[in-house]
Structure 1
Amino acid sequence: MTPVALHTVFETLAYAAGFRTFLWTRQRLAPSAFNDKDEVAWIAVGAIVGAALGAKLSYWLDDPLTAFQNFPDWRHLLQGKSIIGALLGGLLGVELCKRITGIGQSTGDAFVLPLTVGMCIGRIGCYLAGLDDHTYGIPTSLPWGVDFGDGIMRHPTQLYEILFLLVQYACIHARRNAFAQPGDRFRAFMIGYLGFRLLVEFIKPVFYAYPGHLSGLQLLCVAGLLYYHRDIPRIANVLLKGSSSAWVPR
């Protein structure tokens, strides 16, 4: 099986496992996230459409030279995607649908475990895809460096991400009863992951450098962290100390 085929198989498994985990999570770990099936449907529409658009737009931002190569030939525009854009796009899509339909309660907590499971499985596919996936790290002399096919030992950043996601979920789950505000488990997931990606991108190839030598994906991480800037102190307090200060609904 070719690397591209392996990646496709694991990406399909990631979607399937994430969906099945969501069905279980919304009943067991986040039963108050949805009031009825109609809300699930609306949130699903917002998440899917937003994630699809965000994943594509983030690829255009991160590697515009490749994405717009031979423009207006649209085929390059349809290649590539990023989980960072998918997460932020999905977030915006869900919030927009909630405003349209009048859904007031937070729904994010139901997605923490499904996202963790799906992203871990997806990163296995990225790892097996090797150089074709463009998710590998820069060269390293560390003993766990991996040769992805070009004879150069590189940081296996896909494996770093899997390890981070598992540790992050363990921390969030262990502190789940300390989060005072509905949706804080999802906020903790997003803040942690965006912070991780902001840092790990420094040991990955930069396909197009913006001011400050930041990649497009790092700029998206900064934008996402700014969106959550008021929540970061409260979330950090829970994860580090196991307690949450009083909160004011917004």
Structure 2
Amino acid sequence: MSGALLHTVFDVLAWLGAAAAAYGLARQGLRFPAQSFALPYIAALVFGAGLGAYLFGSANLWLSGQSGIARSVEGALAGGIVAIELYKWTAGISFRTGARFALPLAVGIAIGRLGCYFAGLDDFTYGTPTTLPFGHDFGDGVLRHPVQLYESAAMAVFALFYVLAVLNRNAFVITNGFYLALAYYGAQRFLWEFLKPYGTLIGPFTLFHLLSLSILLYAGVMLATAPKARPLHERAVA
């Protein structure tokens, strides 16, 4: 099976995994704001995520001296955040609606990054050369950091942490899970960017370094201003 086909297979598995995670949360009795299920909300999310994915993915490709069009999961995440915040502002929605996306986000990235790994050199998500024993040869005889696996493992750890928090009815984690996921994702992604062959934008920092810091800052502000979590006997999150 070709790398591109494997990537597509894992993309589908990532969506299925995210859907299964969302279903699992519903089975735990957690209720989420109805607004996050509304068609206009979903439309804004899909549009923003799609635009961000191609905008940032392609920009990073060009900054790295490559031609063509590319997608980025981090770009999709940033685009989706901006689109939803704009939608909420225009719709007069003042409360938070992202809680139900925490586990699906972590599971989706953990699975999806495996597809990036199997896609090989054509995917341009591999790491810089390394002499470490777990370096991977993607087909050109050079051992590189398998950064896709690093990110997949990191997000799997967050997913496990979140599941344990849900099972223990941790009100803060359940209510603010999406922003915790964003903060964790931004921090780990910032670190892995030092192990990628991307073109720099400011000093040693790539476009995704700056995007990771932006996501981390957004998550930090949202966590710092988070309202008090609702009592768990209500089994509701906002």
> What's the CA shift for 1:68?
8.5
Q: Which residue of 2 aligns with 1:151?
A: 141
Q: 1:30 to 1:164 in 2, by over 3 A?
A: farther
8 Å contact kept, 1:109–1:184: yes
| CA positional deviation for 1:217 | 0.8
Cα distance in 2 for residues equivalent to 1:18 and 1:56: 21
Counterpart contact for 1:201–1:218, Cα < 8 Å: yes
Residues 35-77 of structure 1 show CA distances to partners (whole Å, capped at 9, x for unaligned) of 37x84323321211111011111123322257895xxxxxx3x
**CA displacement, residues 96-149 of structure 1 (integer Å, 9 cap, x when unaligned):** 222333344422121112112221221111111111111111111111111110
Q: Secondary structure at the match of 1:210?
A: strand
Return 5+ residue gaps in structure 1 as ranges: 70-75, 236-250
How far apart are the structure 1 equivalents of 2:111 and 2:173? 29
For the 8 Å contact 1:137–1:155, the answer to whether it is kept is: yes
TM-score norm. by structure 1 comes to 0.79
1:194 CA drift (Å): 0.5
Structure-2 change in CA distance of 1:187 and 1:29 (3 Å): farther
**Inter-partner Cα distance in structure 2 for 1:54 and 1:158:** 20
Classify 1:96/1:232 alpha carbon distance in 2 versus 1 (closer, same or farther; 3 Å). Answer: closer
What residue number does 2:176 align with? 184
> Could you say which residue in structure 2 is the equivalent of 1:35?
34
Aligned equivalents of 1:200, 1:113: Cα separation in 2: 21
- AA aligned to 1:150 is D
Q: What is the aligned-residue RMSD (CA, Å)?
A: 2.6
Q: Which residues in structure 2 correspond to 1:44-193 (within 5 Å)? A: 44-65=42-63, 69=67, 76=68, 79-176=69-166, 177-180=169-172, 183-193=175-185
Equivalent position to 2:204, from 213, 229, 246? 213
| 8 A Cα contact 1:30 1:110, kept in partner | no
Percent sequence identity over matched residues? 36
Q: Out of 143-152 and 58-67, give the one that drifted further.
A: 58-67
The answer to whether the Cα contact below 8 Å between 1:17 and 1:118 also exists between their aligned partners in 2 is yes
| CA 1:6–1:181: 2 relative to 1, 3 Å | closer
Map residues 211-250 of structure 1 onto 2, 5 A cutoff: 211-231=202-222
User: Following TM superposition, by how much is the alpha carbon of 1:212 offset from its aligned partner in structure 2, in angstroms?
Assistant: 1.3
Task: Provide the C-alpha distance between the structure 1 equivalents of 2:110 and 2:51, rounded to a whole number of angstroms.
Answer: 22
Unaligned runs of 5+ in 2: 227-238
Task: Return the alpha-carbon distance in structure 1 between the equivalents of residues 209 and 146 of structure 2.
Answer: 19
In the TM superposition, residue 199 of structure 1 has moved relative to its aligned partner by: 0.7
Distance 1:183 1:84, change over 3 A: farther
Distance in 2 (CA, whole Å) between partners of 1:39 and 1:103 is: 14
Q: Per-residue deviation at 1:30?
A: 7.3
